Amino acid sequence: MANMKDYSNNIIPNWCPGCGHFSIQRALQVAASKLEIPNEKLAIVSGIGCSGRISGYMNSYSFHGIHGRSLPIAQGIKASNRDLTVIAAGGDGDGFAIGLSHTLHAIRRNINMTYIVLNNQIYGLTKGHTSPLSEVGFETKSTPTGSIETPIRPGIVALANGITFLGQGFSGYQEQLVDIIIKAIQHEGFSMVNVFSPCITYNKINTYQWFREHLINLDEEENKKPLNYQEAMNRLIETEGLCTGVIYQDPTSHSYLDKLQPEKKPLSHLNLKIPEEDFNNLINLY
Ligand SMILES: Cc1ncc(C[n+]2csc(CCOP(=O)(O)OP(=O)(O)O)c2C)c(N)n1
Which has more confidence, 279 or 200?
A: 200
In sequence order, what E strands does 10-125 have? 42-46, 61-64, 85-91, 113-119, 122-123
Helix, strand, or coil (residue 88): strand
pLDDT in tens, 215-256: 999 999 998 999 999 999 999 999 999 999 999 999 999 999
Ligand 1 and 131: CB distance under 6 A:
yes
**What CA–CA distance (Å, rounded) separates 64 from 75?**
14
What pLDDT score does 119 carry?
A: 98
What pLDDT score does 270 carry?
A: 79
Residue 91 bridge partners (DSSP): 118
pLDDT tier, 268 (very low <50, low <70, confident <90, very high otherwise) = confident
CA angle 193, 196, 197 (to 5 degrees): 115
Residues 6 or more apart whose CB falls under 8 angstroms from that of 30 comprise 4, 178
Ligand 1 and 91: CB distance under 6 A:
yes
pLDDT tier, 263 (very low <50, low <70, confident <90, very high otherwise) = confident
pLDDT tier, 272 (very low <50, low <70, confident <90, very high otherwise) = confident
Whose C-alpha lies nearest to ligand 1, atom 13? 123
Ligand 1 and 92: CB distance under 6 A:
yes
Task: Report the CATH superfamily, name and number, of domain 4-284.
Answer: Thiamin diphosphate (ThDP)-binding fold, Pyr/PP domains (3.40.50.970)
Whether residue 109 contacts residue 125, with contact meaning beta carbons closer than 8 Å, is answered with no
Q: Give mean pLDDT, residues 123-145.
A: 97
Residue type, 258: D
Q: Is the pLDDT of residue 12 over 90?
A: yes
Å from CA of 122 to ligand 1 middle: 10
Q: Is the pLDDT of residue 144 over 80?
A: yes
- Global pTM value: 0.95
Ligand 1 and 126: CB distance under 6 A:
yes
Atom of ligand 1 nearest to the CA of 90: 15
Q: Give mean pLDDT, residues 170-175.
A: 98
pLDDT tier, 286 (very low <50, low <70, confident <90, very high otherwise) = confident
Using most ligand atoms within 8 A of CB, pick from 24, 46, 48, 142 the residue to mutate for ligand 1. Answer: 48
Q: Give mean pLDDT, residues 74-102.
A: 97
**What CA–CA distance (Å, rounded) separates 211 from 241?**
12
In sequence order, what E strands does 30-144 have? 42-46, 61-64, 85-91, 113-119, 122-123, 129-130
For the stretch 34-58, what's the b/e string if a residue is b when 16 or more beta carbons lie within 10 angstroms of its beta carbon? Answer: beebeeeebbbbbbbbbbbbbbebb
Which has more confidence, 59 or 286?
A: 59
- Domain ranges in the chain are 4-284
